Structure 1
Amino acid sequence: MGDAGDVSKEYAAGFAAGIATVVTGHPFDTVKVKLQAHNTKGKKVYNNAFQCTVRILSNEGVKGLYRGASSSFIGLAFESSLIFGIYSQMTHALQGKTERNLPQLEIIVPSAGFGGAIISFILCPSELIKCRMQVQGCGSAISKYTHYSGPLACALQTIKNEGAYTAVALQLLRESIGNAVFFSTYEFSRYYMRPHFNPDSSGLTNRQKLLMDVGSGIFSGGLAGMAFWSAVLPLDVAKTVIQTAPDRNASRNPLRTIHTIYTRVGLGGCYAGLGPTLLRAFPANAAAIVTWELTAKALGLKRAQFAEVCVDTVLFS
């Protein structure tokens, strides 16, 4: 297969990773968004993530945890396709034909940061709709939020009234910084973790090798996801507050928003939703990385040499 075919396969593998992320992580994300939108106003609506989850299930059922998931499927699938595709292509281009066994930050950071900046312009509209759908629900505590009949109605009304790029600057910062942290953590943890999972593969069957690779993918992907959100959560909190503000005249200045949250509820407010975010980050990103690696391998892709730590065995014996 030529270069064009390999490029399309890179994006296809990323697309599959995005779908896995939404299926695994959206319920956690819904809880995170509700905590960020409602617990940063001075008076807590929810005592903790568990109470928030119970209330959603009691009032809306399981479908409440997947509110806004349709826009997430669209946004995250294409976002994931782009970030993994751009990252893979840029690491190949920056490395060239030089073989390096150790991951190189001068290759990883610009590749991931550039990819994150690009996807922010695609991700912002879908996250805007997702967040506004997620803060809806039953109960007087959230009646001040506009109720939309569905994602399409939300999108049309939002675009008509204020456009689709509310808080895009925060989205760009979150994605460029976060993805640089994510891929750096992934590459280094994968590199150093692999020998512990598979120190001597000579006596293993292909299926056993596959399980070893999946295991290291789960841990490296999960750790990378937690590193991403630990680094950028205050930016994400400010983005959620701005995107879900009932008053369209409310300030959209990110620094002022973060300062206001800190003044109202302290440092904890800047990390509202940390619990469900980290609980979501590990399984969702583990699923994304494993899906990405296995799909790429099934499509016959070979990654840059310093990252040649993913599945290198036949998928099935």
Structure 2
Amino acid sequence: MENSSGYKDYVAGLLAGVSTVVVGHPFDTVKVKLQKHNTEANGIKYKSGLHCATRILKTEGVKGLYRGATSSFFGMAFESSLIFGIYSQSKKALQGGNQSDKPQPSVIIPAAAFGGTIISFVLCPSELVKCRMQVQGTDSLVPNSSKYNGPLDCVAKTFKSDGVTGIFRGGFTTLLRESIGNAVFFCTYEHLRYYIHAKLKDSSHDPSNLIDIGVGVVTGGLSGIAFWSVVLPLDVAKTVIQTTQCKSSTRNPFSVLKSIHARAGLKGCYAGFGPTVVRAFPANAAAIVSWELAVKLLGIKRD
């Protein structure tokens, strides 16, 4: 499908990551708030994602929706650069001389899962800082918390209290989420892209840049929804593990999910599903459109 051009794949991925944060971070803040506060033993704090967003805007303004965005920008830009770059390079290596226009799950799944595994080591510390910043705030529905003055202060205090292992808290859960989720994402993306382009070739219309953008929006958006629909329970467990201040609390995602399920049922395991799905489409559509545009501008050959 592609003739990858080394560093260019990583540059294209970086641009995709920046687009993802700009579009998706406010939704992510709502998701994290719901996952933290609506799964605790002392009861539900927010009625819905809209209720949560309204509370944040009322008490903190737009700035509240972008809490933790600094670490997210750096983390997501680097992570996106790696995932798109590693995926493209790994897929090319696995295909070898057997290049095929048709999607090959035997190539896509290991390439995407490998990329997801690698980026989990980058994502874990950046998301720990992001999540700890996001659950703070002045919202009157939750305990007023201002333990951290900023991302660097959060890193410093985490290192001081928990050491190196503290900053990688939730690492195994992040690895599971990213390896499984990216395999789902790229499988969905590659197959959708292939079948849509096949239909366009059969039609009498020549593909234009506008049509390409439309294809990117649809394939990216639906792939993002597929990603989160599969791995959201793991993400809920990760949020709980990373925002818990108790050092002795379990880091086993399955134990955490079992506990959440006992308290809040399946709904608790999918806490934040509304804002996550609402975010998934535009954020991943922006990522794919930006990536494909960068691929064209950088001269990376595609089918």
Q: TM-score range by the shorter chain?
A: over 0.9
Letter in 2 for 1:60: E
In structure 1, C-alpha distance between the alignment counterparts of 2:170 and 2:179, rounded to whole Å: 14
Report Cα offsets for 1:159-215 as digits up to 9, x if no partner. Answer: 2212210010000000000000000000001111224456446x64xxx61111110
Counterpart check, 1:166 vs 2:165: no
Letter in 2 for 1:164: I
Q: Quick one: percent identity of the two aligned structures?
A: 58
Report Cα offsets for 1:237-257 as digits up to 9, x if no partner. Answer: 000001111333322222211
**Superposed, which structure 2 residues align to 1:98-137 within 5 Å?**
98-137=98-137
In structure 2, C-alpha distance between the alignment counterparts of 1:96 and 1:249, rounded to whole Å: 47
> Which residue of 175, 184, 187 maps to 1:184?
187
In structure 1, C-alpha distance between the alignment counterparts of 2:76 and 2:97, rounded to whole Å: 32
- The aligned counterpart of 2:223 is 224
- The aligned counterpart of 1:154 is 154
Structure 2 unaligned segments of length 5 or more: list them: none
Please report the TM-score for the alignment, with normalisation by the length of structure 1. 0.90
Report Cα offsets for 1:283-312 as digits up to 9, x if no partner. Answer: 000000010011011100024xxxx3xxxx
8 Å contact 2:71–2:126 — kept in the other structure?
A: yes
How much does 1:99 deviate?
Answer: 2.9
- The aligned counterpart of 1:33 is 32
8 Å contact 2:170–2:238 — kept in the other structure?
A: yes
In structure 2, C-alpha distance between the alignment counterparts of 1:251 and 1:113, rounded to whole Å: 25
In structure 2, C-alpha distance between the alignment counterparts of 1:269 and 1:221, rounded to whole Å: 27
SS in structure 1 opposite 2:258?
A: helix
- The aligned counterpart of 1:315 is none
8 Å contact 2:137–2:144 — kept in the other structure?
A: no
In structure 2, C-alpha distance between the alignment counterparts of 1:45 and 1:7, rounded to whole Å: 48
- The aligned counterpart of 1:88 is 88
- The aligned counterpart of 1:284 is 283
- The aligned counterpart of 2:213 is 214
Letter in 2 for 1:170: T
Name whichever of 45-54 and 243-252 sits farther off. Answer: 243-252
**Superposed, which structure 2 residues align to 1:290-309 within 5 Å?**
290-303=289-302, 308=303
